[in-house]
Amino acid sequence: MFSLKGHTAIVTGGASGIGLATARMLADIKANVVIADLNDQAGQDMVATLAAEGCNAIFVRTDVADAADVNALIAASLEKFGSVEILMHFAGIGMEQSALATVQGDWDRIIGVNLTGSFLMMQAASRVMIERGYGRIVAMSSMAGLRGGTGRAAYGASKGGVAAMMRVMSMEWAGSGVTVNALAPGAIETALVKKMHDAETRRAYLAGIPMDRYGTPEEVAAAAVYLALPQSSYITGVTLPVDGGFDASGVIKRG
C-alpha cells in the first residue's frame, strides 16, 4: 500500500542526519531519490550505498541559498527522472547564541540558508508540481521556531519564518494537487545538535521532554515519509511536531 514507485523525491540536506535517514526510507519504498547537499563526499557516498542496493539515486551538489543552484537542481532532477513529485527540504544550519551576542553576519547566514533557501526551493519545486497537478512538499521548521528557547534568535526566527511561509504556500496551492506541510522536530540526535547543544542545553531540554530522551533521525524521517505519500492527500498547512511530547508539555513529574 505504501509505495512511492515512479515518484521522484528531492531531499535537500540528504547527506546527513534527518535528510539522510529520509532519503534512505524513501528509497526503501522505491522512490527515485535526488540527494542535494553542499557536502560532496557524504552525498556521493550515500548515493553509492543506495545504488549498490538497486535504488535509483543521484547526487547534485547544491547550495540551497543560491537561486542558480536551485534551478540547476530542478533541471538535473527532471533530466534524470522526468518528474519531481516530492520535495523534502531539510538542508539547514544552526547556532546557539544569545540575541545580544548575535552579529549581523551570523543572522544573515542563518536566515539566508534556512529561510531564503526554503523560499527558493519550495517556489522552484512547486512550479513543476503545479504544472503537473500533483506534489508533496515537506519543509523543515523546528520547535525553536514555535517556542521561545534561549539562544535561538536567528535560528528561531528562520524556523518560525518557514512555518509561516509554508502556511501561505499551502493556501495558495491548495487547489492544485500540491500539499505543503512542515515538520517541527524537538531535539534529534544529529551532527547539528552535537554542535548546537552543550551539556547544559541537553539537561535543560531533557527536563522539558516528557519522553525523557532525544529523538532519532529515523523517527523524523517516518513522519516526513508519511507526508510524502499519495495517501496524505487531505493534509496541508500543518506544522507537525516530532518532539517526544515537548510541545504539549507543562508540569512534568517523573517517577
Ligand X SMILES: NC(=O)c1ccc[n+]([C@@H]2O[C@H](COP(=O)([O-])OP(=O)(O)OC[C@H]3O[C@@H](n4cnc5c(N)ncnc54)[C@H](O)[C@@H]3O)[C@@H](O)[C@H]2O)c1
Q: Which residues are known catalytic residues?
A: 155
Instruction: Determine, following the binding rule CB under 6 A, whether residue 193 of this chain makes contact with ligand X.
Output: yes
Instruction: Determine, following the binding rule CB under 6 A, whether residue 180 of this chain makes contact with ligand X.
Output: no
Number of Cβ within a 10 Å radius of residue 251: 4
Phi then psi for residue 8, to 5 deg, are -110, 130
Whole-number Cα distances in Å, 248 to 52, 143, 215, 238: 42, 11, 16, 16
For the record, the C-alpha cell of 129 comes out as 508540481
Among 65, 128, 223, 225, binds ligand X (CB under 6 A): 65
Among 26, 113, 154, 178, binds ligand X (CB under 6 A): 113
Q: Total binding residues for ligand X by CB under 6 A?
A: 30
Instruction: Determine, following the binding rule CB under 6 A, whether residue 160 of this chain makes contact with ligand X.
Output: no
CB of 69 to ligand X, least distance (A): 8
The amino acid that residue 137 corresponds to is I
- For ligand X, the closer of residues 27 and 64 by Cβ is 64
Instruction: Determine, following the binding rule CB under 6 A, whether residue 170 of this chain makes contact with ligand X.
Output: no
Number of Cβ within a 10 Å radius of residue 241: 20
For the record, the C-alpha cell of 93 comes out as 544550519
Residues 122-141 that bind ligand X (CB under 6 A): 140
- For ligand X, the closer of residues 174 and 204 by Cβ is 204
Residues 196-255 that bind ligand X (CB under 6 A): none
Tally of CA atoms within 13 A in the half-sphere of 113 that contains its CB = 19
- For ligand X, the closer of residues 128 and 196 by Cβ is 196
Instruction: Determine, following the binding rule CB under 6 A, whether residue 192 of this chain makes contact with ligand X.
Output: yes
For the record, the C-alpha cell of 143 comes out as 520547535
Angle of CA points 65, 21, 36, to nearest 5°: 30
Applying CB under 6 A, the span of 2-10, 31-39, 78-86, 165-173 interacting with ligand X comes to: 31-39
